[in-house]
A and B are shown apart, each in its own frame.
Chain A
Amino acid sequence: MYARAIITLAAAVMLTACYESTDVTVHKPGVYKGARDPLLAKQRAPEQQQTLRERFALVQPDR
């Protein structure tokens, strides 16, 4: 009697294990989780972004 109950319960529990997220992205891109990196704040500044764009033009010149 108990055996049956246990088996049924176990089956039910194991069924839930069948659930798998379709997206296995465990890490969330863009969400910062570690130690503080001051670069992150710096990169948000539009001037910094502009500097990097200008730098790119320097690296890949059409001159």
Chain B
Amino acid sequence: MFNFLSKKLRSWQQQNQNINKENKENDNSKKTKENSQAKLSSNLKENLDSIKAILGVCEDLIIREFAFGNKGQISAAIIFIDGMVDRTLINDNIIKPLMYDNRFICEEESLEIKNIDIIKGTILYVGEIEKSTTINDLVESCLSGDTILLIEKAKEALVISSRGWETRGVVDPETETIVRGPREGFTENLRTNTTLLRRKIKSPDFMLEAMKIGRKTNTAISIAYLKGVANPEVIEEAKRRLKRIDTDGILESGYIEGFIEDAPLSIFSTIGNSEKPDTVAGKILEGRVAVLVDGTPFVLTFPMVFIEGFQSAEDYYSRPYYASLVRVIRFIAFAISILAPSSYVAATTFHQELIPTPLLFTVAASSEGTPFPAVVEVLAMGVIFEILREAGIRLPRPVGQAISIVGALVIGESAVSAGLIGGIVVIVIALTAVASFVVPAQTDSGAILRVILVILAGSMGGVGIMVGLIGILIHLASLRSFGTPYLSPLAPLSPFDLKDVFFRVPIWAMLTRPKSIVRQNIQRQKFILKPTPPPEKKDKGGSK
């Protein structure tokens, strides 16, 4: 016993040491990298060679050597990576002015430093130019799409911002389609995305902080928040967690989510994501922090609470009564999506007395002669449904339709008429499937919960379901997202925030930001904004 324990302990310690070692090695490699930050020499050839040595001979690396000056006496080189730059900008605004502008008359013994400043200051027609002296910097900016201008005899180089690559335009987002509201969605381009947000919140308080994560990918990310509203602790914590990330690559915001979320092993996500600028802007205005990642249209927002999944941007654009009705329907649909199969199993195998008599006859008649117990039927149908769904998403559209036909025929008709499964099971699963799409944020967690609850219901009946639900409740109650309890504003209860949970009050009555998220600047609008008719004019002879 104790042998075992001590072994276990020892292996732990070893693991820890190994990890520490690795970390140290990483640090070392970083240091050597920093040491090797060679400065530019004054020889163009040398500089080019050292850049080539780092970047290697790639087909998309283009080095254009040319000469300029009134006598063509200054040789220079432009380095850029094809496909990541705006070619017309390089041709028209960098090479053309340099070679065409003859006013650049230079003495034989002219100083190289002066040349650089003159070129930067008077010749190039480009918005953003920086000077750089180290080769590493040059390589990095070249890789991110800038153009480098190297000049003979200069110990500095110009980094000319010329990023321009094919991007998708701003289009209707696919995951969150709405009827009323802005149609634009985020794109893969970080700059476009920040612009979309900036266009919504034109305030000096709106802060965007840049960061680069990923040793190999060097992915740019931005932290967006509203200064004076967002909880500074959350911002600090977010930055701390983001800085902790030391990985080779970030390809999508999901990577970031995985690294910074509070409950990495939970089936519930504690960080929200959205593809719509208006949704994200709304969340930022409520005091949340957003993280935009280059290369993905999905923007992370946190702190996230459970009920956020039930709120849609459109709720706030439509009239409050309808919005509230839809809200309630979403809650019902979520309940159906996780409870319907397990309730069916529990009712038909444990609590037949709960089924009204005529319904019981129908259910009994439909399950008469089917070979499998109800649990197996429901689980199998659930798995088949998930397979169909997955196939439908992954396959190309035309084939996807074929899948749905096959699914409908095989499962809906043949299986029932062959007596393999009861007709009621098909109805239950179909209802579940439809309901599970109503709350997209919880679709994935719902699928898992469904399976767990069906198994529990199959072994313990209704008590099993209740045990499962209480377990879920305990789990949800113990979750936090960046310091905010996941179940707030329900638990802990903050009565003021209930204005936006089961029903949505009119916009003019939404006086405060959610208290569980924001600690400062709680009030978001003036107190009396309820529209009223203008006061009646008191002149009595008005009718004439």
Partners in one complex: no
**Which residues from chain A sit less than 8 Å from chain B, CB to CB?**
none
